[in-house]
Amino acid sequence: MIASVLPMNDQEKLRRFESEMLPFMNDAYNLARWLVQNDQDAHDMVQEAYLRAFRFFSGMREATSRAWLLRIVRNVCYDHLRKRQVPSVSSDSQQEDLPDTNPSPEAALQTKSEIAAVRSALANLPEDFRTVLVLREMEELSYREISEITQVPIGTVMSRLARGRQHLADALKEMRAKGLL
C-alpha cells in the first residue's frame, strides 16, 4: 500500500522509454547481428542494451536517442566479444557456387547467392571497418554520430570508411572474378 502511488512513476517511465526507444529496435538488432555474427547472441545483445539504456534513461527527449542506443549496443557487443574472444569472422559465410547471370554491381542484389556473397564479404572485413560501414551505409548516420558511437575521432571514422570500402570493393571484385557474384 505504501508503494501504491510510486510504481505508477516507474510504469510511466517505462512507457516513455519504450515509445522513444523501441522504434530503433530493428536498427539495434542489425548492428548487433553484424557485430557478433550470430542470431541468438544478437538478440541477447539487444535485450541487454535496452536494459542498460533503461537504467540510464532520464526521460528527457533527446535528438540523439538512436545514436545513443546504438552506442550502447556497440559497447554491449564489444564486451561480449572480448569475453568470448571470438575471432571476427563470419559464421554463415557459406558460398553459393552458381555463377550469376546478371553480374552488374549497379543493380540491386537480385538473388540469394548475391546477397550471401556480399554478406560474406562484409562479414569477413576486419571488425573496425565493418562497424563503420554498417553505421554509415545501412543506418545512414553522420560521421559525427559514428564517431560518438565508436568512440574514435571523426578523422578515424573517415579513414576507416575509405579503407573499409576499398577492402570490400576488392573482395567483391575477387568474388566476381571467381564467378561467385
Partner 1 sequence: MTCSESQKRVDPFLDNEVELATAQEMQRHLEECSACESLVADRLALRHCLQTPELRFVPTADLRSRIHAQLQKEIRPPSARFNWLQRLQFPNWILPTLAGAAAVLIFWFGSATYLSQVRSSSGTHNTLSEQLVSNHLRSLVGDHLFDVASSDQHTVKPWFAGKLNFPPPVFDFSDQGFKLIGGRLDYVGDQEVAAVVFQHKKHYINLFVWPRNQSSPLVDAILQKEGFNLYGWDANGLTMWAVTDAEPEALKTFVELEKQRMTE
Give me the DSSP letters along 109-172.
P-SHHHHHHHHHHHHTS-HHHHHHHIIIIIS---HHHHHHHHTS-HHHHHHHHHHHHHHHHHHH
| x/- map, 67-106, partner 1, by CB under 8 A | --------------------------------------xx
Taking CB under 8 A as the criterion, the residue among 78, 90, 143, 176 binding partner 1 is 143
Taking CB under 8 A as the criterion, the residue among 76, 77, 81, 122 binding partner 1 is 122
Q: At what angle do helices 65-84 and 7-21 cross, to 10 degrees?
A: 90
In the complex, least distance from residue 109 CB atom to partner 1, rounded to whole angstroms: 4
Task: Give the distance from CA 84 to its chain's centroid.
Answer: 19
Which residues have C-beta within 8 Å of that of residue 55, sequence separation ≥ 6?
none
Binding site residues, partner 1, CB under 8 A: 1-8, 10-11, 13-14, 17-18, 22, 25-26, 29-30, 33-34, 39, 42-43, 46-47, 50-51, 54-55, 105-106, 108-109, 115, 118-119, 122, 133, 136-138, 142-143, 158, 161-162, 165, 168-169, 172
